[in-house]
Structure formats: structure tokens, C-alpha cells
A = this chain, B = another copy of it.
Amino acid sequence: MNVGPGMTTLQLMEEMGKSGVLGAGRLYRATELLAELISDEETTVFLSIAGPMVPGGLRKIIRDLVAGGHVDVIISSGANLTHDLLESFGGSHYREHNETDEQLCQMGMGRIGDIYTKSEDFEVFEKKINTILTEIAGKENQLNIRQFLTEIGNHIQDPESIIHTATEKNVPIFAPGIIDCMLGLQLWMFTQENQLTLDAAGDMSELSDIVYGSKKVATIILGGGLPKHYALASNILTGGVDAAIQVTLDRSEAGSLSGAPLEEAKSWAKAKCGSKLVTVIGDATIIFPMMVAGALDLINKNGSKSD
């Protein structure tokens, strides 16, 4: 690899592509595949997000991918949606604290690695989400999780919000484990005195319609967990995804799905035989911005080439 002054991210990644081996090679192949998937109008692109992607600084990149029409379906952990709303409601993510976890607790701060949250931001979150829940429950008593998230997207006006932008762009958000986050906790407390039921199985019909209605499906997997499995498993009825990219630091040996090689998905018909699969081992807060920057520039470059 050659590193020169003023190099663009794409130029650096093309150096990685020329080297072609180890992490650098995998990252370039993932970037090429991402460019191909985004450019291909026949491919429905899923994005699954688990782990602290929104608190970790990827909110705007994900929001912009949705706004740009590059992502068609989001499958998220509850926590990333909670943190998206937290910021829309005026809260923030903080850094550079040296206190112990016991001290943080007494200060009312929650820690995610080296990211910090404030309980007062969650108090604002609580009030604002309750207003929205009251409005939603005024119209509907039973919703699928996807419908519920669209309703929330309709009730917030923050153009930087992933949920709001997804609603604007008709990009459905699925969150099968939504109950397991602050948003879910507020929902449950709300339902103690109000009528609002989320149907856990209800989203599957809509999701399977999307899968059946797509010529090709690809999924980009940030972190593992439930969103990874749900994104892959929802494609089982049509024989699996046509392509997938995963970014993870998890490992495979203990058999957990989060660290499982994408190849394994072929055995379950969650990825088609012959599908294009690339895994990059690394921290998504480093790898995903590079991959997106590289892929978007690669599309521009290829586009202007073909003109």
C-alpha cells in the first residue's frame, strides 16, 4: 500500500484493494460490494444495527443512507432507537469521564464503553415519549412494532432523526426486541394505565411481503444479536439473501450467531448458494464510515466513468 498526501478515503481504500489481503482486502471487497448493492435498483437493502451505533457516532451516516435512498429496510435493537429519540428530544451523548461506575451511578450517568448519558436527558425523554404514546393510543389500540415506530416517526420533527427520516422516506423500521430498552420500558409503564398492545408476531407479514416483493435482497449487518438473526431469517422463505456484509469484533468458536461466519447462513437457506458475503473484523465506528465514504465515492467515480 502507498500512502500519499491529501489522499481521499477512496484512494486509500483502493490501495487496500490492491494489497487485497487480511483486513484491508476484506474492507475493500466489502466497500465494492456495498457500492454495487446501493447502485443496483433491483436489490432491496436491509441494514441491521445492534451495539451502540447511534451513541457511537453513526447516527448521521445511517440517517443519510436512509435519506439518500440507499437503505430500504432497517432492523434495529431497541437501544439504538431509544438513543435516536434521546437526541431528537434534546439529549446528548457525553464523553471524557474518569469516574468509577459507582460514582457515575450517583451522578446519574449511564456508561456505554467510553460514552456517557445523563439521567436528566432520560427524564425529558420520558415526558416527551409519554405525550407521543398518549397521542398514538388516542388513535389505535393495537399495532405492530413497525406501525408503532412509524407513528413515532410521524410525531417527531427532527430531520436528523433516523426514525423520522425513515418515516419520511417510507423505510420501515423493525425492532423485534423493542421491549428491551428505555422506549420499551416507557411503553410498558404507559400500558399499565392505557390500552396499547404491540403484537410481537405482527411484523412478520409485512416483512415477508417485502422479501417476496424483492427481486434481490442484501443485508448490511452492524453488530450481531437479534437484528442480525431477524434480518437473515426473514429471508428464509425465499431461499436466503443474495448478498450480505457484516462488521463485527465477535468471534465464531463458541457458536454464537453474532460471531458466526456469513457462510453458515447458507446452510440454513438464510443466504443463497452463490450469494456474495463479506465479513470485516473490526470496530464498526471505524469500519462503517470508511466503507460508506468509499462506496459512495466509488459510485460517483463509476458513474462519471460511464458518462
Contact = CB atoms under 8 A, between A and B. Distances in A.
A210 interface: no
Contacts of A233: 180-181, 185
Interface residues on A, range: 35 or more
Nearest to A24: B285
B180 A51 contact: no
A201 B191 CA distance: 8
Contacts of A225: 224-226, 256, 258
Given A22-B255, A179-B204, A204-B188, A268 B111 contact: yes
A132 interface: no
Contact of A285 (B21, B177, B268, B274): B21
A51 B252 CA distance: 11
27 contacts: A2-B60, A12-B289, A16-B286, A19-B57, A20-B57, A20-B96, A21-B56, A21-B93, A25-B95, A79-B257, A105-B273, A110-B268, A113-B253, A113-B254, A114-B255, A180-B230, A187-B201, A188-B204, A198-B201, A200-B200, A224-B225, A224-B258, A226-B226, A249-B259, A250-B250, A282-B283, A286-B286
